[in-house]
A = this chain, B = another copy of it.
Amino acid sequence: MARIDGHSWTPGEARKQFRSGVTGPTAGLAPGHTQANLISVPADWAYDMLLFCQRNPKPCPVLDVTDAGSWSTPLAPDADLRTDLPRYRVWEHGELIDEPTDVVAHWRDDLVSFLLGCSFTFEWALSEAGVPMRHVEQGRNVPMYVTDRLCRTAGRLHGPMVVSMRPVPPEHLDTAISHSALMPAMHGGPVHSGDPAQLGIHDLGRPDFGDPVDVEPGDVPVFWACGVTPQAAVTASRPPFAITHAPGQMFITDARDEQYRVA
């Protein structure tokens, strides 16, 4: 997938581009600004989803929840959640039925939208601390994998945890762990580092979402809980309707990463 040359974009400029139809992964865009996962479900499913997030805070840290039908959020007051992401996924009964660049035609008045923290947010803190970001260097989407770890069930919602993976040189491992741990709203510290088989992942070269990333000699694969987890729950639990972002193609907010660092 072609890399967007948007490293100098403001969040508002990025959203304007996406609104006009530009697509692609958002890692590395609008530096210093918080990116978010999107999951919109009918109001009848909103309690289950909010409880699912509360019970699974590592993959699903909630940044904001809209009122039913609303497409706006205080995280970016001039944004329209129906148009301002690069690409969406539309789901019916757990099946992917469309991947449009806006969801105006799919919108419903009973949709409650959840914005969840994203690991792209702590990538800046890691980069500044000297940790290389291989997928950004290589111009690729981050690789994501469905694990064999089950989330805690909440009402009708259940499913496996999804993780993102970044290869980290061993001398940077402590820094990667400690700096991400200070951002619990962005998935916090990793859930695992080292052997992928411990998470039920058998081939790092074949991610379930995103792109495979070239690993440098000695790099340790480090796995963070991922905000694509609700999409795995949609697939497993089959709610009648849902809208999500496309993996790696996030909502860019006006919020600053720094405000989510706890110390």
Report A's interface with B, CB cutoff 8 A: 46-47, 50-51, 54-55, 62, 65, 178, 181-182, 184, 188, 262-263
Contacts and interface: CB of A to CB of B under 8 A. Distances in A.
Contact of A181 (B47, B54, B62, B262): B262
22 contacts: A46-B47, A47-B47, A47-B50, A50-B50, A50-B51, A50-B54, A51-B65, A54-B54, A54-B62, A54-B65, A55-B65, A178-B263, A181-B262, A181-B263, A182-B262, A182-B263, A184-B184, A184-B262, A188-B262, A262-B262, A262-B263, A263-B263
Contacts of A51: 50, 65
Nearest to A47: B47
A184 B61 CA distance: 13
Contacts of A184: 184, 262
A49 to B, nearest CB: 10
Which residue among A62, A65, A184, A263 has the maximum number of chain B CB atoms within 10 Å of its CB?
A263
Most chain B CB atoms below 10 A, which of A181, A184, A188, A262: A262
A65 to B, nearest CB: 6
A188 B182 CA distance: 12
